[in-house]
Amino acid sequence: MSEIKRLVLDVLKPHHPNVIELSRRLSAPKGVTGVNCTLEEVDRETESVKITIEGLNISFELIEEIIQECGAVIHSVDSVSAGKKIIEEVETPQDSHR
């Protein structure tokens, strides 16, 4: 099975833990080399966060478990990169019409 190299997640979380603590927790598992948490939207009781995780062999199940332990939920998996290396998206002429 191919190893996951990058995950981009849309996550809904409570205000606590904050994005600093969430990032620290998500960066701890073996195989994770970097985490980026970007606050997208703040509501009265929740925050929408875009989370990008990169690594050599990311365990989606472990990442999901950590997110749930923080009282958060994954709204969607927006992008996944797997295999021997990360392939960046390439813009095509069809993309400019959107």
The pLDDT score that the predictor gives to residue 13 is 98
- pTM higher than the cut 0.85: yes
Strand-pairing partners, residue 35, are: 53
Structural domains in the chain?
A: 4-84 (3.30.70.1340)
Q: What is the pLDDT of residues 66-77, one digit of tens each?
A: 999 999 999 999
pLDDT of residue 98: 62
Tokens of 77: 């998996």
Strand partners, 13: 47
The predicted pLDDT at position 58 comes to 97
Please state the length of the chain: 98
Above 70 in pLDDT, residue 97?
Answer: no
pLDDT in tens, 42-65: 999 999 999 999 999 999 999 999
Dist. CA 92–CA 41, nearest whole Å: 29
